[in-house]
A and B are shown apart, each in its own frame.
Chain A
Amino acid sequence: MQEIRNYTINFGPQHPAAHGVLRLVLEMDGETIMRADPHVGLLHRGTEKLAESKPFNQSIGYMDRLDYVSMMCNEHAYVRAIENLMGIEAPIRAQYIRTMFDEITRILNHLMWIGSNGLDLGAMAVFLYAFREREELMDCYEAVSGARMHATYYRPGGVYRDLPEQMPKYKESRWHKGRDLTRMNEWREGSMLDFLDAFCKDFYGKVDEYETLLTDNRIWKQRTVGIGVVSPEEAHAWGMTGPMLRGSGIAWDLRKKRPYAAYDKMDFDIPVGVKGDCYDRYLVRIEEMRQSNRIIEQCVKWLRANPGPVMVQNFKVAPPSREEMKDDMEALIHHFKLFTEGYCVPAGETYSAVEAPKGEFGVYMISDGANKPFRLKLRAPGFAHLSSMDAIVRGHMLSDVVAMIGTYDIVFGEVDR
């Protein structure tokens, strides 16, 4: 019989552990990976080119659809690029709201990550627990923007509207009634800030709960400890950012090193790993959820005490209010011009980056003075991370590839753009 040594297998694009549409061509020697060749682009929609053919404001919605589990962080980078070029700055209350929603987004993302990574590695229950809290935060998205995911809430010059005075409640239905309904609406009696306050108080305990499921779990440790070790040098060379970089022991966080929004007024810590394996990155992300929770608490406190405008009063950038528009000719013209032609952004170029949950999400924007961007380049953390796949995964077993895809925390909306 002929002896077969190396053979090639196709992993994905229709594989539940491929997190979307990753096609991996793996060259195997038995169960050992000799070479991994990720094929990406199956979700390529040409977001950058589409944005170049539309007025600036009309592309904010596209940003939500890039990394579709950390929506508002993407918006933040895009909106900040426009603000940089125009030389405007959002009011302080809007900066705090953005900070708060960036952190809500971080928790949303990490909950999704811990759930799906748990599923990949055989821990079914974490997913169910994580999605319980995710739902509460999604409700905050909905309360403030009307959409659970694709919010389009950040706008150049501020945020679309102020936080709601009343948190929406569950209505009585065949499934939710009586004491059950009262319990579900317990946090929702007051404003959204009251709701978030109650959530934050409760959430530390919830994170501890996830930890009881995984941190000392024998199977979890066998699947992650010592797997996919990234040395600090490798992390530099492969352009890693976010938890991938911090997991390798490098204390780099844009929120601390290049503060934007209201992060310079926040008190929080950056967790770092020691060994740079999948387990360390898991611990980093768990701790980041606690730190995000701390930041949200500080924002809630500040936002309660400091009412004010959430959008600049510059009608060339932000639309006038409905009442004004109905009543004032000038306001009507502003409204019309803003929603047909948009606004012109002074010629120049800028790179604005935010610390998205997955790493550094950057927007490089060139404007030639028109009402549309001349060139928009989106720097997705997942793209850089995934390119290191071959180097990191070589010599590992097939099952470790799954652990590695999980720990990269990739979402194809942003990798393929």
Chain B
Amino acid sequence: MSENTPNPLAQRLSARLGASLVALTERRGELTLEVLPENWLAVAKMMRDDADLSFEQLIDLAGVDYLGYGQTEWDTTDVSNQGFSRGVEGEGPGRFRWSDRPKAGKQERRYAVVVHLRSIAHNGLVRLRAYCTDDALPLIPSLTGVYPVANWFEREAFDLYGIVFEGHPDLRRILTDYGFVGHPFRKDFPLIGNVEVRYDAQAERVIYEPVSIDPRVLVPRVIRDDSRYDQAKAEAAAAQPAGK
């Protein structure tokens, strides 16, 4: 955490941005800053212009939909002695069609925008994250004025997640088809999609129809939190010097 970290970059960041940071974490040498959407622009500007930070490049901008985070489709904690039927109702995107897609639940702060900034001068990389406050209309200020490259990345996040970037000069869809409906990377958008397209010889044009394939999941989503992985890791670590 931000206290007693030896990382000089983390110290500089918390000194400069202290007030506008919600959290500053470091794991595996990767720094993650969480900021509020209202401070989003100011923090980005500071990150770019401050000589001690000088993050000249925006490397990546990703939208994230946290719906169903940590949800599992296969129960691994309380198994009875009744046998193997321990599948639980999961709502993974592969399990439903467009017409019976799950209603967005009471998930708090569903959408987030994650940005990776790189400092060429100081050889640093930092992750910035902001959760959008309103799930019905996720809003966040656009970074296009600070980093021009954000233009297309934000269009992509808008297209795939429906996150609206305020002040973006040209917020159009970018990856999906002209006239596409919905935001396909949201977790409540079915994996099989909504419509399929084919050429109709009678109508002599390309027509859209509801998808004809059935949703199915080959491998259920499983979260295992048992000691076997730690044990395997320890065994591997013990075997490594001999193997090398």
Binary B-proximity of A359-390 (CB < 8 A = 1, otherwise 0): 01010101011111011010100011011100
Interface segment, one of B38-46, B194-202, B227-235:
B227-235
* B116 near A49: Cβ-Cβ < 8 Å: no
Interface contact B219-A340, CB-CB below 8 Å: yes
Q: Is B219 within 8 A of A387, CB to CB?
A: no
Q: A44-B175, A239-B57, A417-B175 are in contact. Are A351 and B30 (CB under 8 A)?
A: yes
Nearest B residue to A235 via CB reads B57
User: What is the bound-complex CA distance between A46 and B189, given in angstroms?
Assistant: 12
Q: Is B21 an interface residue (CB 8 A)?
A: no
In the complex, what's the smallest C-beta–C-beta distance from A289 to chain B, in angstroms? Answer: 24
Residues of A within 8 A of B151 (CB): 387
Q: Number of contacts between A and B (CB, 8 Å)?
A: 150
Contact partners of A375 in chain B: CB under 8 A: 62, 64-65
Q: Is A164 an interface residue (CB 8 A)?
A: no
- Whether A368 contacts B152 by the Cβ 8 Å rule is no
CA distance A312 to B221 in the complex (A): 25
Identify B228's interface contact among A316, A348, A372, CB under 8 A: A316
Please, how many angstroms separate the alpha-carbon atoms of A416 and B92 in the complex?
24
How many angstroms between the C-alpha atoms of A52 and B177 in the bound complex? 21
Smallest Cβ-Cβ distance to A257: which chain B residue: B123
Residues in B neighbouring A371, C-beta threshold 8 A = 219, 221-224
Alpha-carbon distance A241/B59, docked complex (angstroms): 9
> When the two chains form the complex, which single residue of B32, B219, B225 contacts A349, counting CB atoms closer than 8 Å?
B32
Chain A interface main SS type: loop
- The docked-state distance in angstroms from the alpha carbon of A250 to that of B57 is 13
A241 to B125, CA, bound (A): 14
CB <8 Å contact, A351 and B116: yes
Q: A48, A49, A239, A386 — which one has the most chain B CB atoms within 10 A of its CB?
A: A239
- Pair B223/A41 contact, Cβ less than 8 Å: no
Interface segment, one of B79-87, B131-139, B236-244: B236-244
1/0 per residue, CB under 8 A from B, across A46-79: the answer is: 1011101111000000000000000000000000
Cα distance A361–B195 in the bound complex, in angstroms: 32
Residues of chain B with a CB closer than 8 A to A11's CB: none
CB distance from B125 to the nearest CB of A (A): 7
Residue among B56, B60, B149, B232 with the most chain A CB within 10 A? B60
Q: Which residues of B contact A250 (CB under 8 A)?
A: 120
- Pairs A–B under 8 Å by Cβ, sample size 24: A41-B173, A49-B185, A50-B191, A55-B219, A86-B233, A236-B57, A237-B148, A239-B58, A239-B59, A239-B147, A308-B244, A312-B240, A313-B236, A342-B219, A344-B223, A344-B229, A346-B229, A348-B27, A349-B127, A350-B30, A368-B70, A371-B223, A383-B152, A391-B148
Q: Which of A87, A364, A368, A384 touches B223 (beta carbons < 8 Å)?
A: A368
Chain A residues numbered 111-139 whose CB sits less than 8 Å from any CB in chain B: none
B224: which A residues are within 8 A, CB to CB?
344, 369, 371
Mark out the residues of chain B between 99 and 124 whose CB falls within 8 Å of any chain A CB in the assembled complex.
Answer: 114, 116, 120, 123
Q: Is A34 an interface residue (CB 8 A)?
A: no
Q: From A85, which residue of chain B is reached at the shortest CB distance?
A: B28
